[in-house]
Amino acid sequence: MTRLNAESLPTITDVPTPDHDRSRVRTGIVHLGVGGFHRSHEAMYLDRLMEQGSALDRGICGVGVLESDRRMQQVMADQDGLCTLVVKHPHGSLEPRVIGSIVEYRYAPDDPEAVIEKMADEGTRVVSLTVTEGGYTIDQVTGEFDAQDPGVVADLQPGAVPRTVFDLVTEALARRRDRGLPALTIMSCDNIQGNGDREGTPTLDPAPGVDLDEYRSTLIERFANPAVADTLVPLARRQREEPLVFIRNRAVFGDLADDERFVASYRTALDSLHRDGARVTVERLVRPGRPSRRRR
């Protein structure tokens, strides 16, 4: 069996592989919590854009935070960030494809400084998360930030090295603020109610008794965005009258709105969504070039 990595990639002929030059891809997204959901959704969509020559400045740097993420670190290192997505269709057929949009992986417990600097880097435009509901350090009874969480308590000790997701992100935001860098989008991809509110609560309220008035005002002014859904849903409602209003949100899409190929693909998908519905549109995106059955 051929082991998947950058060296073996040109020899793989029985499974579709990335056609774009991965050496040209630059990191623009840092994703915390690289699991199956991220690789089969966000990473897959970015891979498809790269195949069209777009989003080459939106390569993904995966980040592991938990001890259980060490296995993923090893796999990503062995496979040079490559992974295989297998789509199972309703009729039972399997459609594999190698995904090449993840170009880096860092393990925070080994080198938290490298993770912070990657998020604070000027080229990083988005920090996305799939850390599950437990990763938001919210008390399930009160709905408030849990300042007694062991990881949070450790992070708040004088001179402590950041170890939780939100302390890593907060430190990166502080450095970007101090360096005068552009705004950063923080995008929660976890399927939980009010993910934006949960994302913002621990970042802006790390612990009772900590004076963060000036820090909070700076974050709110320069970086507050927390939920992409909360930010973009109002824009989506205007799309029929202004088809490009959604992708003109540069905090999320950067300069993609200026890329004619991306805009053309976006218009095609949007027209299909309005005409044929979400299911048919998604089928076309997942299975490009194959006819989809229009719902009656």
Bigger pLDDT: 150 vs 218? 150
The rounded distance, in Å, linking the Cα atoms of 29 and 125 is: 6
Residue 1 reports pLDDT greater than 80? no
Residue 136 reports pLDDT greater than 50? yes
Give the pLDDT band (50/70/90) at residue 247. Answer: confident
Q: Is residue 195 within 8 Å of 188, Cβ to Cβ?
A: yes
Give the pLDDT band (50/70/90) at residue 260. Answer: confident
- The pLDDT of 282-290, averaged and rounded, is 67
- The pLDDT of 211-218, averaged and rounded, is 46
Mean pLDDT computed over every residue of the chain:
79
Residue 88, classed as helix, strand or coil, is strand
Residue 118 reports pLDDT greater than 60? yes
% of the chain at pLDDT higher than 70: 73
Q: Is residue 288 within 8 Å of 296, Cβ to Cβ?
A: no
- The pLDDT of 238-262, averaged and rounded, is 73
The rounded distance, in Å, linking the Cα atoms of 195 and 201 is: 10
Bigger pLDDT: 212 vs 57? 57
Query: Which residue in the block uniquely carries the two structure tokens 């062995």?
Result: 78
Residue-level pLDDT at 211:
44
The rounded distance, in Å, linking the Cα atoms of 129 and 171 is: 16
Residue 132 reports pLDDT greater than 70? no
For the record, the structure tokens of 24 come out as 């040209």
Give the pLDDT band (50/70/90) at residue 277. Answer: confident
Residues 6+ apart with CB under 8 A from 65: 32, 33, 108, 109, 131, 135, 163, 164, 165, 168
Residue-level pLDDT at 218:
43
The most confident of the ranges 35-44, 176-185, 186-195, 213-222 is: 35-44
Residue-level pLDDT at 285:
73
CATH number of 9-231: 3.40.50.720
Bigger pLDDT: 205 vs 62? 62
- Helix (H) / strand (E) containing 102: strand 102-107
The rounded distance, in Å, linking the Cα atoms of 141 and 219 is: 27
Residue 88 reports pLDDT greater than 60? yes
Kindly report, residue by residue over 16-62, the tens digit of the pLDDT: 999 999 999 999 999 999 999 899 999 999 999 999 999 999 999 99
Per DSSP bridges, beta strands 94-99 and 83-88 are: antiparallel
For the record, the structure tokens of 53 come out as 């020559």
Residue 180 reports pLDDT greater than 60? yes
Residue-level pLDDT at 32:
96
Query: Phi then psi for 127, rounded to 5 degrees?
Result: -115, 115
Residue 111 reports pLDDT greater than 70? yes
The rounded distance, in Å, linking the Cα atoms of 114 and 287 is: 37
Residues 6+ apart with CB under 8 A from 46: 29, 55, 58, 59, 60, 101
3-class secondary structure per residue, 203-256: HHCCCCCCCCHHHHHHHHHHCCCCCHHHHHHHHHCCCCCCCCCCCCCHHHHCCH
- The pLDDT of 255-282, averaged and rounded, is 79
Q: Where are the domains of the chain?
A: 9-231, 232-296
Q: Is residue 228 within 8 Å of 199, Cβ to Cβ?
A: no
For the record, the structure tokens of 230 come out as 């909360």
Residue 224 reports pLDDT greater than 60? no
Q: Is residue 235 within 8 Å of 249, Cβ to Cβ?
A: yes
The rounded distance, in Å, linking the Cα atoms of 141 and 149 is: 14
- Helix (H) / strand (E) containing 180: none
User: Of 4-8, 16-20, 156-160, 190-194, which gets the smallest average pLDDT?
Assistant: 190-194
